[in-house]
Chains A and B, each alone.
Chain A
Amino acid sequence: MSSAIGKFVIVGQCFILLLVTSCIEPFNATFEDFESALVIEATITNETKQQEIFLTRSYEFDDEGPTPEVNANVSINDSEGNTYVFEDQGNGLYLSTETFAAESGQDYQLSVTTRDGRSYRSDQVQLKTGTGIDQITAERITDDDGQDGMAILVDSFDPSGTSKNYRYEYEETYRVIAPTWWPIKLVPEAEFGCNMILVANNDLARVCYPTNRSNQIILTSTEDLAEDRVDNFMVRFISSENYIISHRYSILVRQYVQSDEAFNFYSTLLEFSSSESLFSQTQPGFLQGNVFSNDNSEERVLGFFEVSTVSEQRIFFNYDDFYPGEELPPYVDPCGTSAPVIANMGGCVLRPLIESGAGVYAGDSGAQPSDNQGPYLVTRRVCGDCSVLGPPEIPEFWTE
């Protein structure tokens, strides 16, 4: 339903084109009032582990990405008087110095003091208890847009009916085989000069195992359903055109059972990121989380501190399981080849191409020197070395 409405909303722009002489055009907004705000992403779970908290700062639209908040004092207190201290691991990640698991019946409160002395405190939060994942299945489907692909579906059931709010994250790992990998590779002949020679390839990877983390908010609620049952909820859809399912694919789905507050926060954030138009029915505004400044009640703090019950499951499947005999999806790169000359008037050509890592050997060209082509075929690196995409080592959890 909401997706259907969302659809007409997004397209609804030039609806009275005949009468309306102009509809939509770029607007030079000046975002003069940017303020750097602390962003807190803290999900403490009932798993016994070193718990993670991310601290970053908001950034201007023109900037590349977030800057981490470094060297902050981060701790969580529970109502029994325990304090769990977190240490900066770099890149905004803070890990608890000791392992612990959130327990029900406890109140947890996050405290952060940044390097510049500002201190922040969260609301008191309890562990939201709930059910775990029943099963994860992979199914070949045709989605709403008519696209063939693989759906990763979750089932979960809570007979007590208290879980209700579910958030999902996933981590997918897949085997990639570089299509133009050769057992030999080009290296410079000498320290100086443009000449290249072929040697045994013992470092460029043919088989790799890249891992991606989910980068969307995936939520579902059973609030309006007769029972607290998540049934075939799709957490991930992979188009049959996507190279990541070409060989063997594995996905780890983590299910967080969320409190109502946390669920509201995430769902509003999700609406903001998808609300795009004139007839948008979403009220914009500052989305208040549950972490506040101790010193200045007007300071905006972004993010949320939640304590939730987590469960996870992993599945594997091969391309053949669902697409027997069918052609593989196209590789991430079309892997076209060229035969650059060794050198020209401007200097070396092939050597810097190989040395920079942009290209790799892809066979002999068989070209004559008069052809204005070089003797070796070169292709983009990703085609002959998949380590660009992910590590070549088989992950520990990997099973065949």
Chain B
Amino acid sequence: MKRVIIVFLLFMGMQYVGAQTEVPRISVSFANTPAEDALSEIESKTSYSFFYLSDWLKGLRVTGSFQDVPISTVLESIFKDTVLNYFIMDSERIYLMQNNQIYDALPNDFFGAQEQVEDDFPQYDQLQDIGPLFVGSDDNNRGLQVVKIGRENRNSRRRSFTLNGRALNARSGQPIPDLAIIVEGKDIGTSTNANGNYSLELPIGENIITTRGLGIEESRTKVILYNDGSHDFQLDESVEALDEVVVQANIDRNVETAITGVTLIEVEKIKNIPLVLGERDVLKAAITLPGITTAGEGASGYNVRGGRTDQNLILLDNGVIYNPSHFFGIFSAINPFTTGAVEIFKGHIPAEFGGRLSSVFDITSKDANTEKFAGEASIGPVTSNIVLETPIIKDKAALMVGGRATYSDWILETLDDEQLNNSTASFFDVLAKYNHTINENNEIKATGYFSRDEFSITSDSIFDYSNRLVSLGWDHKFSEKTTGSLILSNSEYRFGIEFDGESNNDFDLGYKNNETEFKYRMKYIPGGKHTLDFGIASKLYVVDPGNIDPLGADSDVSSLVIPREKGLESAVFISDSYKVNDKLLIDMGLRFSFYAALGAGQQRIYQDNAPRNSGTLVETQEFDENEVIETFGGPEVRLSARYFLAPDFSVKASVNNAFQYIHTLSNNTTVSPTDTWKLSDLNIKPQEAYQASLGFYKNFDGNKYELSLEGYYKEQRNLLDYKVGAQLLLNEAIEQEVLQGDGQAYGVEFLVKKNEGKLNGWLGYTYSRSFVKLDSEFNEERINNGEFFPSNFDKPHDISVVANYKFTRRFSASANFVYQTGRPVTFPIGSFAFNNSEFVFYSDRNKFRIPDYYRLDLSFNMEGNHKIKKFAHSFWSFSIYNVLGRNNPYSVFFVTEDGDIKAFQSSIFAIPVPTITYNFKF
């Protein structure tokens, strides 16, 4: 996460920087004028403003007279004897930078180790040139900063010395990692590590050292080396005059980070994945990567590494989205135009996150453009989308508003079929984000989000659901080393069904849950090898598990309200990213979570050592408002480490565990519209997971190819499952239907990626298994003889290929192929006669599988011309989903018709679906 932010800041930083354009001329004279006053005078005579710290100019006085000279001449004169550099930007701003210090003295103990050093002396006969060092004067390098290192030691016969030090950002004081340090003409070089440290073996005498880094101004320094010594580079951010900067960030992230099982998806990079119904979808892109699957087309909810769909914490700007999909998952509810990136943690989950077992989908909206008005829009066959960004306070605050909606309702109305034009199918989502940089130490961000779906399931019922989210964030920098973030968020998920049929059983059914979170997170970099993150979080859940009311005066449905549930989940967390040495990086995290189920409420107490049913119910206990019903909690270890076997080859390992206190109730394999969330209470224990992973990561050919192989083993406790025949909706005594058992999952994930070139893309293969065990000493609570059986989403083989081919800069084609083993289902295996009628009986749970799933999508993309300055950039995409027309069964079910049992399959996209979409950006 930290990395992403840095990259973004750099990126922003560079957009500020304009061209070093034609400099106007100025006439001015100073006589021992304080520098600050001199600058004010320049400001008054020109359109320039200066940006600097007063401290830098203390004591500096300026004398000189200038007639019609470029402003740079004046500035050069003013700053000639100082360590200050200046940069002119956009003909209006001049930034002063405090530049490198010259070290003219070494620490007193510097020569303490001299004798030892002498042991390493090369043999005399190998030395060719002994004697005093003469520094030549070289016209080319005149004006270079000259650094002399070490006192010349006349007795020394060494011809090379070690230079070490750090590279620091002159403005922020932050270390600069991955900076190339090259000695001109000598084929010597190194790069700084994550903390900006470097070490170089240099020949004695004069060396011209060049530094190059991403977003860092190139520097040249003449180093005259007399002995071992150190030199810190104080470097400025680069001020290259570019209209567009392409930053290749994170190119070696795969190998470099300490944590396992993390995936970053940047919206820009998924532009070429074939689309379904014209939607570029960041979550759809996620399922082409190993370890993340869905139950099938039209299934919302993700199964990550053999976990249930309710075990994913899906965050949009730190607020939770409970149902991130439209139309049962055909579209995701995340607007691609407002989304910056999605980071998915499926192995090691950082300690700051908790409350879900399998994964965290950390979706961040992009920051609105504070520079100028901008926008992006798309027109597709089913939806249209528009996003606008506008500065509120130039360079400081901006607002982004994005919205997306279907016009399927309108299409339905134009149809002749009466049943169809009376039905409804619509969705929309809107997002607004405000970001405001108050000053260099304070930044606030606010996000509001709302999505809603409404459609007819049948001609006489309307189903709707909505997500609502508000989040506020305040980032505050206490000092160079300490930053803090305050996050407040509230989200609500609800669904409702209105049934308005012919007879007297019309009803209106509703479900709602709401959570409010407070989180304070701090980052402290004490310097050296540690980076600490710590904080607290607390979340209040309020769940209204369901109510039903009669609809209309002549409905005989009686009202029922399942009592509200409340819970408070709190946590403290700390993690330390500890760099043991250049090769070993350890991320040690610990989270302690604590949950309290709160009243008011009723809890049913059952006999010990008896199955839970209405017969073993002992009593019902009443709890008052906010009375603690039951508490759970425990430590969650988040430990991960990376070791470099070679500079581009690393091995990582992690172990972690987590608790989850809120669960979905769903006995559909897939997320169904009537799934509800249930809090842990006296009868429902929290789910727990323990995962260990080990992975190898190798980049080839300058990060052009990425290869990773990662394995995991996971055990879970108290997973929710259901008795045969369980009824979940509007059931007050839900614990009588629920079973809690163990889960076991393991797998190997292989991914090879080609990041550049005409042909790029990736291939992922996952072998994974996921099992559940529901055992009990009581028959009615035992499934499949109490042995492990494949979970609903156990799909051993999963292959995904995404390939893009660029014909030219404007034309490209892409393909996407998916193959998955069919998921397990429970089939009826025979009939029997009972009670004078005929019934089917089912196999053991999940004994069969539906047919394997495979699908090929193709798309062809055409971008508008690449003139950089034109008003709008356009992008056409023509795609065909399911080119092979494979009829992939989504579910299989059985119906008794005329006394015969018939099998049916349902599928969502059984034929190729072509789509054309037009996008433009301005």
CA distance A37 to B834 in the complex (A): 13
* A160 close to chain B: CB less than 8 A: no
Given known contacts A17-B420, A26-B903, A213-B836, A58 and B730 CB-to-CB distance under 8 angstroms: no
**One of B277, B783, B837, B847 near A216 (C-beta < 8 A):** B837
The answer, among A1, A20, A22, A27, for a CB contact under 8 Å with B730, is A1
CB <8 Å contact, A19 and B906: no
In contact, A144 and B505 (Cβ under 8 angstroms): yes
Per-position binary interface string of chain A over residues 206-226, scored 1 when its CB falls under 8 Å from any chain B CB and 0 otherwise: 000000011111000001000
Chain B residues numbered 408-437 whose CB sits less than 8 Å from any CB in chain A: 408, 411-412, 415, 420, 423, 425
* Residues from chain A with Cβ under 8 Å of B7 in the complex: none
Task: Please determine whether B829 and A33 come into contact, CB atoms closer than 8 angstroms.
Answer: yes
Chain B's closest residue to A145 (CB) is B503
Quick check: B833 and A65 within 8 Å, CB to CB?
Answer: yes
B347 to chain A, nearest CB (A): 31
With a cutoff of 8 Å between Cβ atoms, the chain A residues found around residue B831 in the complex are: 58-61, 63, 66
Decide if A119 is an interface residue (CB 8 Å cutoff): no
A215 touches B836 (CB 8 A): yes
Q: In the complex, are the beta carbons of A8 and B458 less than 8 A apart? A: yes
A368 CB-CB contact with B under 8 Å: no
B607 contacts the other chain (CB 8 A): no
Nearest Cβ distance between residue A358 and chain B, in whole angstroms? Answer: 23
Taking a contact as CB atoms under 8 Å apart, the answer to whether B408 and A18 are in contact is: yes
Name B457's contact: one of A2, A8, A19, A145 (CB within 8 Å).
A8
**Would you call B840 and A272 a contact (CB within 8 A)?**
yes
- Contact partner of A283 (CB less than 8 A), chosen from B461, B723, B907, is B723
Near B by CB (< 8 A), chain A positions 297-353 give 297-298, 300, 302-303
- Which residue of chain B lies nearest to A268 when distances are taken between CB atoms in the complex? B725
Q: Chain A residues near B730 (CB, 8 Å)? A: 1
> CB distance B726 to A15 under 8 Å?
no
Query: Please, which residues of chain A bring their CB within 8 A of the CB of B614?
Result: 164, 223, 260
* Interfacial residues of chain A within 16-37, with CB under 8 A of chain B in the complex: 16-29, 31, 33-37
What is the CA–CA distance of A378 and B412 in the complex, to the nearest angstrom? Answer: 55
A294 is an interface residue with CB less than 8 A from chain B:
no
The residue among B499, B503, B841 with the most chain A CB atoms within 10 A of its own CB is: B841
B725 engages A283 (CB within 8 Å): yes
- A278 lies within 8 A of chain B by Cβ: yes
Flag whether B502 is at the interface (Cβ < 8 A).
yes
Chain A residues with Cβ below 8 Å from B673 are 279
The CA-CA distance from A277 to B785 in the complex, in Å, is: 27
Could you say which residues of chain B place their CB within 8 Å of the CB of A394? none
Which chain A residue shows the least CB distance to B409? A18
Closest A residue by C-beta to B406: A19
Whether the pair A1, B461 counts as a contact (CB closer than 8 A) is no
Bitwise, A33-48 to B at CB < 8 A (1) or not (0) is 1111101010000000
**B613 on the interface (CB 8 Å rule)?**
yes
B779 interface hit (Cβ, 8 Å): yes
Verify A286–B844 contact, CB threshold 8 A.
yes
Q: For B902, what are the chain A residues with a Cβ–Cβ distance below 8 Å?
A: 26
Q: Could you say which residues of chain A place their CB within 8 Å of the CB of B780?
A: 261, 264, 288
> Which single residue of chain B is at the shortest CB-CB distance from A31?
B829
Q: Which of A12, A20, A27 contacts B904 (CB 8 A)?
A: A27
Q: Are B830 and A286 in contact (CB under 8 A)?
A: no
A15 to B499, CA, bound (A): 14
Q: Is the CB of B725 within 8 A of A27?
A: no
Asked whether A59 and B830 contact (CB < 8 A) given A17-B420, A144-B505, A267-B725, the answer is yes
Tell me if B634 counts as interface (CB < 8 A to partner A): no
A8 and B845 within 8 A (CB):
no
In the complex the two chains form, is A35's CB within 8 Å of B845's CB? no
Asked if B456 contacts A15 (CB within 8 A), the reply is: yes
- Please judge, given known A-B contacts A4-B557, A261-B615, A268-B724, whether A285 and B845 are in contact too, CB under 8 Å: yes
Interface string of B553-580 (1 = CB under 8 A from A): 0000110100000000000000000000
- In the bound complex, do residue A15 and residue B458 qualify as a contact, i.e. CB atoms below 8 Å apart? yes
Q: Closest CB of chain B to A148's CB: distance in Å?
A: 14
**With A1-B557, A271-B725: A29-B841 Cβ-Cβ less than 8 Å:** no
Given contacts A4-B557, A39-B834, A285-B844, contact A298 B895 (CB under 8 A): no
Q: Are B667 and A290 in contact (CB under 8 A)?
A: no
Q: Check if B722 is an interface residue, CB within 8 A of chain A.
A: yes
The reply to whether A286 and B499 contact each other, CB–CB distance below 8 Å, is no
Q: Chain B 811-844, CB within 8 Å of chain A: the 1/0 string?
A: 0000000000000001111111111111111111
For the complex, what is the distance from the CA of A393 to the CA of B173, rounded to whole Å?
107
The reply on A117 being an interface residue by CB < 8 A is no
Not counting A23-B907, A267-B725, A281-B674, a sample of 11 additional A-B residue pairs whose C-beta atoms are within 8 angstroms of each other reads A17-B420, A22-B911, A29-B892, A33-B843, A61-B840, A223-B614, A281-B667, A281-B728, A285-B826, A286-B724, A297-B785
Task: List residues of chain A with CB under 8 Å of any chain B CB.
Answer: 1-5, 7-8, 11-13, 15-29, 31, 33-37, 39, 41, 56-61, 63, 65-66, 144-146, 164, 169, 213-217, 223, 259-261, 264, 266-269, 271-273, 276-288, 290, 297-298, 300, 302-303
Which 7 pairs of residues, A with B, have the shortest CB-CB distance? Answer: A268-B725, A22-B910, A260-B615, A27-B905, A29-B903, A285-B724, A283-B667
Residues on B lying within 8 angstroms of A by beta carbon are 277, 298, 327-328, 330, 382, 408, 411-412, 415, 420, 423, 425, 455-461, 497, 499, 501-507, 548, 557-558, 560, 613-615, 667-668, 672-674, 722-730, 779-780, 782-785, 826-845, 847-848, 887, 889, 891-896, 900-911, 913
